[in-house]
Amino acid sequence: MNAIRTVLVPLHPEGYPFVAAFALATAALMWLWSPLGWLGVLATAWCAYFFRDPNRVTPAGDDLVISPADGVIQAIDSAAPPVELGMEPRPLTRIAIFMNVFDVHVNRVPADGEVTALAYRPGKFVNASFDKASEDNERQAVRLALANGREIAVAQIAGLVARRIVCSLYEGQKVRAGERFGMIRFGSRVDVYLDDAHVPAVLVGQKSVAGETVLASVGGRRTQRRETLD
């Protein structure tokens, strides 16, 4: 059973319409000319791969901030959080995670807490690996009050190909680290803003895994791990 679950990774619900559309197009192409149909098979398989939603095992601890996205740590710098969230405009530690089209694109909550603000801002669609993407691109920002009394922010940022940001959170919602909360379709970026008490636990160029990689912690503590299968 574990071997089957490893191979047959579930799809995120956002992917069902796309996979179905690719499959229908593939059937039509196969009827018209089989070589085109086999290209459609490959495209359908890639679409299913893109929308994969594997289970993750999340580290547990009030002082931990977990990666909300799969991808490469693009930058660790200082920047003010998204102004639309109403937070103080002072620089915070920002950890930027770049997701290419081959990464899992399901986003997960980085820490236990409560959603205190949500804000969508339209913008451009420049390459998400560029520093200016944080300021110029379309984004969905989330403000979280953590269980340990601190506060962080998360910004889902559209990229060059991405044209759809999905966020299922709502203000006042209680959340737990590792829970799924949305995704960005077809290449994008997620920025996490932390106060000075959080010490980064990752390096630029490191690969992060949503719901598993510890991005930062207060005091450098780590505790037991819990599995999130829902």
Res. 96: pLDDT tops 80 = yes
Q: What does the block give as tokens for 157? A: 């940022």
Give me the chain's average pLDDT, please: 84
34 is a catalytic site residue:
no
pLDDT band at 160 (very low <50, low <70, confident <90, very high): low
Query: 155 vs 16, 26, 128, CA distance in Å?
Result: 25, 36, 12
Looking at the DSSP bridge assignments, the partners of residue 125 are none
DSSP for 66-84, written as a single string: E-SS-EEEEEEEEEPPPGG
Q: Confidence class of residue 26 from pLDDT cuts 50, 70 and 90? A: confident
pTM summary value: 0.83
Phi, psi at 29, each rounded to 5°: -65, -40
Cα–chain center distance at 168: 12
Lookup: tokens for 37? 């149909």
Q: What pLDDT score does 118 carry?
A: 96
User: In this predicted model, which residue has the larger pLDDT, 155 or 221?
Assistant: 155
Lowest mean pLDDT among 22-31, 116-125, 173-182, 215-224: 215-224
pLDDT for the residue numbered 112: 95
pLDDT band at 138 (very low <50, low <70, confident <90, very high): confident
Is the separation of the CB atoms in 186 and 101 below 8 Å?
Answer: yes
- Of 228 and 120, the one with more pLDDT: 120
Q: With a cut of 50, say whether residue 130 has pLDDT above it.
A: yes
Alpha-carbon distance of 78 to 127, in angstroms, equals 20
Contact 113, 138 (CB under 8 A): no
State the helix-helix crossing angle for 34-50 and 16-32, rounded to 10 degrees: 170
First vs last C-alpha separation in the chain: 17
| Residues paired with 71 in a beta bridge | 208
The CA distance from 121 to 98, in Å, is 19
Among 129, 134, 188, 217, the one annotated catalytic = 188
